[in-house]
Amino acid sequence: MSKKILITGGAGFIAHHLIDYILKNTDWEITTLDRLDFSGNLNRLKEVVESFPEKDKKRVNVVHHDLKAELNPEIISTIGKVDFIGHLAAGSHVDRSIKYPLEFVMDNVVGTVNILDYARKVDGLERFAYFSTDEVFGPAPRGVNYKENDRYNSTNPYSASKAGAEELVVAFENTYGLPSFITHTMNVFGERQNPEKYIPMVIKKVRDNEKVVVHANPEKTKAGSRHYIHAEDVSEALIFLFNYDHGKFIPDETGAKCQKFNIVGKDEIDNLELARFIAKCQSKKLNYEMVDFHSQRPGHDLRYALDGTKMKEMGWEPKSSYSRLEDTVKWSLDNNRWLKI
């Protein structure tokens, strides 16, 4: 009998890639819970689902709900029985969180409590996954790659709200025995990403011969860097974790039971190098300007870095970001509608 997964935020960028991956690689049935705000775009989900045969299209059920409200009996009945829950719905725009911090507490903290409270009452739930971010650790000095249980140092309300939600997941496992895990993922890219994000923005600016702004240190000599990872690799990692035997893990010496996993891109790429690579893919010369990142974007960090050893030792590694990036550039140029703001 096939499994059934509930995915929150299914019309969002990463979640719609997860749905695509599940349809291609499993026989699971999917219910997606979404409120369809500016982060969610039903056209993403429709474009993916419409590419599959009719029997696979029927495996996807879309339920409209805003997680700031608890799941009422009608919504719960519509969802039906589920084996897995992937909680990917979240407010994720750092600049917006700085301007409207309470909005992010409501979406990312209150919203998480509501899906957790539903999850703890689901009979036979095999696993609850909370999709978090590398930003909970704050900036990473050169040479430092944070491990899963290192200290947190949120530098903006977005990352703080994600860290707060993580602790609620931990609490629900400790209090109610909810079988959970938490992932930290670095900067994700891929098809149908919001054109305000760095990679699609650079693709568009290079195509249109516009200047690309590259965030750098105060001296404007060193660009910021990230371990970029394609959304398909993230999806593959999540399904790997859902299927993994978590019974192999035992609480650490502090008694912590809820496992955390870093999903890390194969290559650390500085943003100038990244922009040059995107320009090279288009056979163009990069027109750019280095700017002091903190003056331009307070609350952002120059470098994030995670240690992916744990997942590698478990048997999962991502593919090269460069080959994925070249494919994404080509796809974006061929599908121009997704570069329009």
295: helix, strand or coil: helix
* Catalytic residue (choose from 21, 118, 130, 158): 158
**Do 91 and 97 meet the contact criterion of CB atoms below 8 Å apart?**
yes
CB atoms within 10 A of CB 225: 21
310: helix, strand or coil: helix
Upper half-sphere CA count for residue 112 (Cβ side, 13 Å): 27
Please confirm, yes or no, whether 134 is among the known catalytic residues: yes
The Cα 202–Cα 335 span in angstroms is 15
Please confirm, yes or no, whether 135 is among the known catalytic residues: yes
The Cα 112–Cα 165 span in angstroms is 6
Please confirm, yes or no, whether 118 is among the known catalytic residues: no
* Catalytic residue (choose from 20, 29, 107, 135): 135
**Do 138 and 124 meet the contact criterion of CB atoms below 8 Å apart?**
no
* Catalytic residue (choose from 20, 134, 191, 236): 134
The Cα 114–Cα 126 span in angstroms is 18
- Catalytic machinery residues: 134-135, 158
